[in-house]
Amino acid sequence: MRITAAMVKELRERTGAGMMECKKALQEAGGDMEAAIELMRKSGQAKADKKAGRVAAEGVIAAAGGGEGGVALVEVNSETDFVAKEADFRAFAQKVAERVLAAAPADLEALLALPLDEGGPSVEEARRELVARLGENITVRRFVRVAAAPGRVLAHYLHGSPVRRIGVVVELEGGDEALARDLAMHIAASRPQYRDVEDIPAEVLDKEREILRAQAEASGKPPEIVEKMVEGRLRKHLAEITLVGQPFVKDPDITVGKLLQQAGAKVARFERLEVGEGIERRSESFADEVMAQVKGA
């Protein structure tokens, strides 16, 4: 059967794949549009499996929702920043965030099994098709969903342009949305690990105190001075890692704790996601990376 330009155009519109890939699939399927789509989906799965072991530490944070509807944040990873900027990649990440918000999946496995669009392929199937189309390993790594509790305020903030690499959601008791957004921006910049000292696990405190004591004892000071040094350094360290102890980024003369006190507010919860956080990246020179891509092509 003769494969016409109109047939190739229709297949491209339905799959988002390249022209030559569409033409080849139609030829293999004898001009049957549905069979060609099935072939391309199988091909996409094979390509996705082949690329699954490659490190994907770039990508985007996507967000959905706000206000009384709750907020969802999702990290979707790619191998390169180039693909992270690609419109189809960012659209996929946004749709995944919207599915998290709407369906509240229990875990990543449940999320991947959900349909990306009503009546369409699952999130996992769409991910595999995107791998085939963009030529890189792509992963949905993690997500958080914060429901809006009665009487509380939610706000979120995404940082980076055009690629959003940091996402934060803040839930406040008291205060307003403007304050919650200011705090989300602060958290994006200052990376607090905990809300306040009460949130820090006892073993973390004990370990830090042990390290500081060893450092102080090395100074040769008397035991009573050593104890004062340890407590002083511990207070400084806790102020650095707790949200309420940090200087507020928009007014460093006051702490976040003081700002909240003035507003009659309290942070009930915050979540911060940053692209590639905790992923071990491959050490490779740019020249080696280019040569590897040329050989792969």
Note whether residue 296 is domain-resident. no
- pLDDT tens sequence across 173-187: 999 999 999 999 999
Mean pLDDT of 87-112: 96
- Model pTM? 0.75
Domain range for 103: 58-192+269-277
Q: What share of the chain is helix, strand, coil (3-state, %, to 5)?
A: 50, 20, 30
Question: Most confidently modeled of 16-20, 88-92, 133-137, 159-163?
Answer: 88-92
Pairwise CA distance, residues 193 & 270, whole Å: 10
When pLDDT is cut at 50, 70 and 90, the band that residue 63 belongs to is very high
Same domain, residue pair 92 and 182: yes
Residue pair 67/180 in contact (Cβ under 8 Å)? The answer is no
Q: What is the CATH number of the domain that holds 37?
A: 1.10.8.10
Pairwise CA distance, residues 38 & 30, whole Å: 13
Pairwise CA distance, residues 78 & 55, whole Å: 8
Note whether residue 108 is domain-resident. yes
65: which 2 tokens? 């929702």
Pairwise CA distance, residues 123 & 117, whole Å: 9
When pLDDT is cut at 50, 70 and 90, the band that residue 124 belongs to is very high
**Helix or strand run (H / E) with residue 21:** helix 19-28
Domain count, the chain: 3
Nearest to 292 by CA among 76, 8, 79, 92: 79
Residues in contact with 240: Cβ distance below 8 Å, sequence separation at least 6, in sequence order: 246
- pLDDT tens sequence across 22-36: 888 888 888 888 888
Note whether residue 290 is domain-resident. no
Residue 189 has a pLDDT of: 95
* Residue 45 in this model has a pLDDT that exceeds 50: no
Same domain, residue pair 140 and 273: yes
